[in-house]
Structure 1
Amino acid sequence: MSASSDLRRPAVVVAIALPVLLALVVAGLALYARSGGFTPAPPAPETGPLAVAPVDAPAAGGQACASLLAALPTDLPGDPASTGRPLAEPAQPGVKAWAASPRPVVLRCGLTRPQELTPTSTLTEVNGVSWLTITDGTPEPSLVTYVAVDREVYVALTTPTRIGSGPVQTISDTIARTLREQPVQVR
């Protein structure tokens, strides 16, 4: 063997190995990107006082809502979990909030009967509580509102869709323990 033949052998190995290695790296990056590896983390939830717009909630100051609010947990499960969030003054009666991202979780108690509740409404039962689900009507809503419709007062729970079902399950357990069940009132 000549000296030039000995020098070409490593060059050939490198010439073959580099494209194969490059293809493996590109394939690995593609798999990582597909699994959400390059998706930025959601922003940290805001934890300061939350300003809540007033809504018609004639029973918000009643005993039923006071009992429910006193029994609510400080934190809610979810992905990620939500911690209690103070309300900005003037705080609306019958309201509780938890920090979540991209928007907070907000519970309102003592609301008027929702207009969306009709004889043909689809209700979902979660841990013994019947909920009417209301979205903003877009193909991929970012918020969903659940309204408990089978209790002595109407309770609405608005959550980010990405947080999962943990909050509605936990709130259902609390509602089942604290608020009397009643037949669903449809028009």
Structure 2
Amino acid sequence: MSLWCHWGVPDSDTGAPPRVVLVTATVLAVALAVAVAVFALTQRSSSDAAGPLPLVPVPAPAAGSPACTTLLGAVPTELTSNGTSLKVRELAAPAPPATVAWGTDDPLVLRCGLNRPPELTPTAALRLVNGVQWLQVPGEGASTWYVVDREVYAALTVPDSAGTGPLQTISDTVAAKLPAKPLKF
């Protein structure tokens, strides 16, 4: 009697199933597990994207100002980032005042009427983008860009994976709707 199994022929000594059956069953089990995991991830992402975006409120004493009303009334319903169109996202209740967000996975968030950022000092490095002075405050996985030369402070939080398009578009909107003012330190 033979102690090894020929391809597809049961081992008469042990009564074990043929090797081809074991390999096929293993491959099918792994493929099924992968398919279930991909389906679960896809469904979770779809349901997260479809639902309102919860945001933590931050102090925004000038959120009800005419300047914030003007700015938020003029922002586009879509932004383009790295060639991808990001649509305005519904905010979960209670939504922070004077706030709008775009995108699903790593949303961009614009807030208006904020307090002066503490990082704004006479020696802070500012960037001029399409006629608007911005202060970049890097964070973990995203940067927050503060408009610092208008009558209200606004902040655009942008994921590190985003392109420069959203900052340029929001700069154009700010420049068109809010007149420049001298910096306040």
* TM-score normalised to structure 1 length: 0.71
Deviations 1:141-171 (A, max 9, x none): 4201100000010000001111110000000
1:131 and 2:134 are equivalent in the alignment: yes
Give, in whole Å, the separation in 1 of the partners of 2:49 and 2:177.
29
Alignment-derived partner of residue 56 in structure 2 = 53
Amino acid at match of 1:53: V
Closer, same or farther: CA 120–47 of 1 in aligned 2, 3 Å: farther
2:42 corresponds to: none
Q: Deviations 1:65-108 (Å, cap 9, x if unpaired)?
A: 0111110000001122211101111122110011143x210000
Corresponding position: 1:117 with 2:116: no
Structure 1: which 5+ runs fail to align? Answer: 1-42
CA contact (8 A) 1:60 1:109 kept: yes
Q: After the TM superposition, which residues 155-174 of structure 1 pair with which residues of structure 2 at under 5 Å, given as runs?
A: 155-174=154-173
What corresponds to 1:8 in structure 2? none
- Would you identify which runs of 4 or more consecutive aligned residues in structure 1 move more than 6 Å? none
Question: Structure 2 counterpart of 1:112, which letter?
Answer: N
Q: Determine whether 1:180 maps to 2:179.
A: yes
Residue pairs, 1:79-158, within 5 angstroms: 79=82, 80-101=84-105, 103-136=106-139, 141-158=140-157
Secondary structure of 1:89's counterpart equals: coil
Amino acid paired to 1:175:
V
8 A contact 2:147–2:155 mirrored in 1: yes
Q: How many residues align?
A: 139
C-alpha contact (below 8 Å) 2:89/2:104 kept by paired residues = no
CA contact 2:69–2:98 (8 Å) conserved in 1? yes
* CA shift in 2, pair 1:47/1:121, >3 Å: farther
Task: Assess if the C-alpha contact under 8 Å between 1:81 and 1:100 holds in 2.
Answer: no
- Find the residue that maps to 1:56 and give its secondary structure: coil
- TM normalised by structure 2 equals 0.71
Describe the shift of the 1:146–1:111 C-alpha distance in structure 2 as closer, same or farther (beyond 3 A): same
Measure the CA separation in 1 of the matches of 2:142 and 2:121.
22
Cα RMSD after superposing both structures = 1.5
Unaligned runs of 5+ in 2: 1-44
Aligned letter for 1:160?
P
Evaluate the alpha carbon distance shift between residue 78 and residue 174 of structure 1 in structure 2; reply closer, same or farther with a 3 A threshold. same
Identity %: 50
